[in-house]
Amino acid sequence: MDDLDSFGPGHIGSYQAERRARSRPLPVHPKGIRRRREILDRSLEVFAERGVDGTSLRAIGEAIGVSHAALRNYFASREELLVELLLERDVRSEASREEAESVFGHLTNTAEANSEIAGIVALYTVMMGNAIQQAEGDAREYFTERFELNRADLSSRLEEELSTHGLTATEDLGDVAALIMAAFDGLQVQWLLDDRVDITRILKLLERLLLASARPADAAPGQSV
């Protein structure tokens, strides 16, 4: 019912574990757990209203009624808080992926769900920009690991799906996965700046192109379609 991502990570990934070790310990008492949830929920509300750059720790704290310093009992930094929001969305996206009938089915579902919540798409894109301007940092690690996992996952799911239809790929599926992910992310940016860009329609175009390039599994290489 939400999220923007290009496919949630198939599994959570080693980065997750490392990050957990580095960051604030998860609260164990009910009050702490509620507080942490409240911070995450309010953060989403605040940047839905004021944009990503308007979402300062002070603004979030103000929305809850605590000082900005209090937030840092739960999140070591503002960046960590925002990455946590992206991770939560990945988990939900992963759930919806398991219901989807095909790779591109999930992609277009995601694109359509995203169109209703531009806020999180914007957060994703802004964080992507933040990620690459750092030598290290939570956002950079998040995206690096995410891309790597998704390339591998998507690649194997594509292979599986092709063989189900009695097809064999004529192109490197790792490259195809990178291409699909790049197209998805790039189209989201264009859509954010101009909503006439129809992500779903263009993804279906890409799907047609890729399907046409596959060949029957029993045919000799060279004769496509």
Partner DNA sequence: GTCTATACAGGGATAGAC
Partner DNA sequence: GTCTATCCCTGTATAGAC
Residue 166 interaction partner, one of DNA, its own copies, none, beta carbon < 5-8 Å per kind: none
Tell me the three state secondary structure of residue 168: strand
Does residue 186 belong to the site contacting its own copies (CB under 8 A)? yes
Question: Would you say 113 or 202 has its CB closer to its own copies?
Answer: 202
Residue 69 interaction partner, one of its own copies, DNA, none, beta carbon < 5-8 Å per kind: DNA
What would the x/- binding string for DNA be over residues 163 to 202, using CB under 7 A?
----------------------------------------
Residue 212 interaction partner, one of DNA, its own copies, none, beta carbon < 5-8 Å per kind: its own copies
Does residue 215 belong to the site contacting its own copies (CB under 8 A)? no
Scanning the chain, the segments in alpha helix (DSSP H) are 14-22, 30-50, 57-64, 68-71, 78-99, 103-114, 118-132, 138-164, 173-193, 199-213
Cβ atoms within 10 A of the Cβ of 104, count? 20
Residue matched to tokens 């942490």? 36
- Of 124, 37, 36, 45, nearest in space to 72 by CA: 36
CB of 174 to DNA, least distance (A): 35
Backbone angles phi, psi at 133, to 5 degrees: -95, 10
Q: Are 74 and 63 in contact (CB under 8 A)?
A: no
Residue 35 interaction partner, one of DNA, its own copies, none, beta carbon < 5-8 Å per kind: DNA
Return the range that interacts with DNA (CB under 7 A); candidates 10-18, 22-30, 173-181, 200-208. 22-30
- Mention every residue, 6+ apart, whose C-beta is less than 8 A from residue 170: 213, 214, 215, 221, 224
Does residue 39 belong to the site contacting its own copies (CB under 8 A)? no
Q: Are 130 and 139 in contact (CB under 8 A)?
A: yes
Handedness of CA 29, 71, 131, 194 (dihedral sign): positive
Question: Would you say 91 or 205 has its CB closer to its own copies?
Answer: 205
Q: Which residues pair with 168 in a beta bridge?
A: 215
Question: Would you say 66 or 173 has its CB closer to its own copies?
Answer: 173
Question: Would you say 33 or 225 has its CB closer to DNA?
Answer: 33
Cβ atoms within 10 A of the Cβ of 140, count? 19
CB of 165 to its own copies, least distance (A): 18
**Residue ranges binding its own copies (CB under 8 A):** 51-53, 122, 125-135, 140, 143-144, 147-148, 171-172, 175-176, 178-179, 181-187, 189-190, 192-194, 197-198, 201-202, 205-206, 208-210, 212-213, 224-225
**Residue ranges binding DNA (CB under 7 A):** 27-29, 31-32, 35, 54-59, 61, 65-70, 72-74, 76-79
